[in-house]
Amino acid sequence: MSSSTPDTITLPWASDFHCHLRQGAMMELVVPLVEQGGVRTVLAMPNLTPPLTTTQMAVDYGQRLQALAPSVHFVLTLYLNPDLTPEEIGRAAAAGITAVKMYPSGVTTNSEWGVADLRAYYPTFAAMQDANMVLCLHGECPSDADKGICILNAEERFLDTLRELHAAFPRLRIVLEHATTRAAVDCVKSLGSTVGCTITAHHLVLTVDDWAGQPHHFCKPVAKFPSDRAALRDVVASGHPRFFLGSDSAPHLLSAKQGERPAAGVFTTPVLIPLLATLFEKLGCLSRLEGFVSAHGRSFYQLPQPAAGSAAITLTRAAPLKVPRAYAVDCSPADAGSQPVTVVPFMAGTELAWSIAST
């Protein structure tokens, strides 16, 4: 990271290694906002309706995304499912698909097609290891009152599965996505170099008190206790190279967020890098920002680092960013229900200390 004055920062375009870009009208809104948030490399999640379960489905989706944002590099993923055989992994790798996403059944949005028994997929994981693909994990166990599992301990209860996968496939690159607990941070740090971890912007801000009764802060996994947030903040402030940005930005219509059962997801895409700059400054670790939003994740995903003199963004404190209260979605009334057809971003109506001055 370089600084021309104390009030500006110049960074490479950021890389977001976990983002929900949706489909249809929501996709048409969200995808052009990726660059507005300071990002030009984005790992696109496959939990659409229907999910991206074949190589051709993922390739077709990538083409639709590229048409909406030609300057963005979309890193494509597949949804782990019973038809994802070793043979299909070979086809995916040949087509340039980078990763496979594992959702435990029923834990989050569009996860009803998810996994119940990971051991059934060991041949697929072996093929991924040989093809040098990445396994992305939504690291939670499904809630089960009889087993004492709920949304507050589901991540910690999953960590033994992460350890088992790493032991069984030590060359397979595995990402524990959107960590929310001290236990998850300690677990990833204890494992080998092929295990990485993404952290979201909103989990660096929120604790359990912030989402209880506030649907626009409700996400899966939920934000946990202040001590857990402190662990997330400490590891990003340390500059640990296996912890990097995965925003898990997940937009939902206002009607879905404020309904009887609020949808899980926080929308940070359009303000992502100004938000992180503001937060890292408050944490006293602004010098770690470039590693977190660019270098660490690109290294883990084996993408080239930006060359000297390549395209960059400049952040400034001279013009604070006023976060919009909502973004309009151009969709049919049937999709919207009776409420306004809008998406509410994280930190809506507030002001961030940093904004993007130029690109």
- Residues annotated as catalytic are 18, 20, 101, 138, 178, 248
Instruction: With cut-offs at 50, 70 and 90, classify the pLDDT of residue 96.
Output: very high
Residue 336, pLDDT above cutoff 60: no
Taking the model in full, what pTM does it have?
0.94
Instruction: With cut-offs at 50, 70 and 90, classify the pLDDT of residue 108.
Output: low
Q: With pLDDT > 70 as the criterion, what percentage of the chain qualifies?
A: 92
Mean pLDDT of the chain: 93
- Quick one: 102 exposed, middle or buried, by C-beta within 10 A (0-12, 13-18, 19+)? buried
Residue 22, pLDDT above cutoff 60: yes
For residue 167, the tally of other CB atoms under 10 A from its CB is 10
The residue type at 168: A
Pair 285, 234: CB distance under 8 Å: no
Please name which of 220, 211, 174, 345 lies closest in space to residue 270, comparing C-alpha atoms.
345
Give the pLDDT confidence of 278-297 residue by residue, as tens digits.
999 999 999 999 999 999 99
* Average pLDDT of span 92-115: 78
Pair 195, 186: CB distance under 8 Å: no
